[in-house]
Amino acid sequence: MKALTWAAGAALAAGLFAGLSSGSALAADTTLRISLQLPLKSHLGQNLVLFKEEVEKTSNGEIAVEIYDSAQLYKDKEVPAAVGSGAIEMGVASLTRYVGDIPAVDIFYQPFLFDSEAKVRAAVAKGSPVRGPLDEAIAGTGSTVLWWQAYGGAIMLSNGGPVKTPADMKGKKVRVFGKTLGDFVTAAGGAPTLISGSEQYLAYQRGTVDIGMTGVSGVKSRKLWEVMDTITETNHADIEFIVVVNTDFWNGLPEKHRELIEAAAMKAEADVRDRMSQIEADAYAAAKENGMTVYKPTADELAAWKAVAQPVYDTYKEKAGDLGAKVLAAAQAL
């Protein structure tokens, strides 16, 4: 009898705990779980919080949003398959994670193609001749793009001094987060190593690679100044993340729910894009405050990087097919 009473009490306690931990999800008609590889305090995490608050407010609690940050459920490279298969409703992934199915997505990693904020904004605008065809192609993987999240320009990380020219990369192991960035490293004489964002800290700490590529906001959110001491501000690629939802799940939602989710997504997209310049400025300031040296290459040094980049464009044209040619022409026309 005592055993039964204890068991009943334990079950009740577990139920109460589950109720407390799930919060509004119990009262909601629909729950959106979102996988994120970055910490919640990162600007992408905070952008999801904005989305969550907007959706839960405008739906009057009919929709609950749960954010699983820091790769609790899936690593960045696993998100496209997890969302496309319906294993989770939503996820955030680096755009380049779709390169296996859609090589054209790596248009944003063609070296120095998007060399101004104006060009980036024009390219990533919803329905633009660059973004529009890519969103349509991603739909073929079982996922629908809800919004794009700006992550800023790609920079290089190193120890003991900046990576001024390709000569400084020759023979070095370099962390990359996409195949095209790997092609760029190879063209410059380095050895690319594909490492997930959530694993790069350990890669630098253990010396798995000599040089890193990331966005400067990631230096701040991941405290990469603890393992690297120098930033080279090359801005050689535009890093974009996308928030996707499983298409079958999306199509099964009531129209009013889709409309309010889309409205919240557009609000989140505009917010993170408009704040990106300040986010990067704050990250550079934090890096300096924590002992990092920030080096800005000279015009001649940038010219040296651009001079080795042509093979990257040639490879892209070969692999990306008609879609790649279409979005490349659109990007070059900006």
Whole-angstrom distance, CA of residue 65 vs CA of residue 57: 11
Residue with tokens 């990533």: 124
256 domain residue, yes or no: yes
Report how far apart, in Å, the C-alpha atoms of 2 and of each of 14, 161, 209 are. 18, 69, 59
296 domain residue, yes or no: yes
111 domain residue, yes or no: yes
Mean pLDDT for all residues in the chain: 92
Identify the H or E element spanning 56.
Answer: helix 43-58
Whole-angstrom distance, CA of residue 269 vs CA of residue 304: 35
Report how far apart, in Å, the C-alpha atoms of 53 and of each of 47, 64, 67, 265 are. 10, 9, 11, 11
pLDDT of residue 326: 98
106-134 pLDDT tens trace: 999 999 999 888 999 999 999 999 999 99
Q: Is pLDDT at 231 greater than 60 in this prediction? A: yes
44 domain residue, yes or no: yes
Q: What is the DSSP letter of 118?
A: H
Residue 296's CB: how many other CB atoms inside 10 A?
12
4 domain residue, yes or no: no
Domain, as residue range, for 202: 27-332
Whole-angstrom distance, CA of residue 162 vs CA of residue 214: 15
Average pLDDT over residues 280-297: 97
190-223 pLDDT tens trace: 999 999 888 999 999 999 999 999 999 999 999 9
CATH, residue 153: 3.40.190.170
Burial of 316 (0-12, 13-18, 19+ CB in 10 A): buried
Structure tokens at 234: 């090359």
Nearest CA among 39, 41, 115, 38 for reference residue 79: 38
pTM of the model: 0.84
pLDDT of residue 197: 87
Identify the H or E element spanning 230.
Answer: strand 230-232
Q: Is pLDDT at 4 greater than 60 in this prediction? A: no
Q: Is pLDDT at 13 greater than 60 in this prediction? A: no
Under 8 Å CB-to-CB from 31, ≥6 apart: which residues? 25, 63, 64, 65, 66, 89
pLDDT of residue 330: 98
Q: What are phi and psi of 148, to 5 degrees?
A: -100, 145
Phi-psi region of 291 (alpha: psi -120 to 50; beta: other; left: phi over 0): left
Whole-angstrom distance, CA of residue 254 vs CA of residue 263: 15
20 domain residue, yes or no: no
Q: What is the DSSP letter of 121?
A: H
101 domain residue, yes or no: yes
CA angle at 188 for the pair 182 and 193, rounded to the nearest 5°: 30
Segment among 7-11, 74-78, 135-139, 154-158 with least mean pLDDT? 7-11
Whole-angstrom distance, CA of residue 131 vs CA of residue 272: 17
85 domain residue, yes or no: yes
Average pLDDT over residues 233-260: 97
Binned at pLDDT 50, 70 and 90, residue 28 comes out as: confident
| Domains: count for the chain | 1
- Quote the percentage of the chain above a pLDDT of 90: 88
pLDDT of residue 198: 86
Q: Is pLDDT at 236 greater than 50 in this prediction? A: yes
Segment among 18-27, 269-278, 283-292 with least mean pLDDT? 18-27
Q: Is pLDDT at 5 greater than 80 in this prediction? A: no
Residue 127, Cα to own-chain centre: how many angstroms? 20
pLDDT of residue 186: 97
Cβ density class 236-253: b for 16+ within 10 Å, e for less = bbbbbbbbbbbbebbeeb
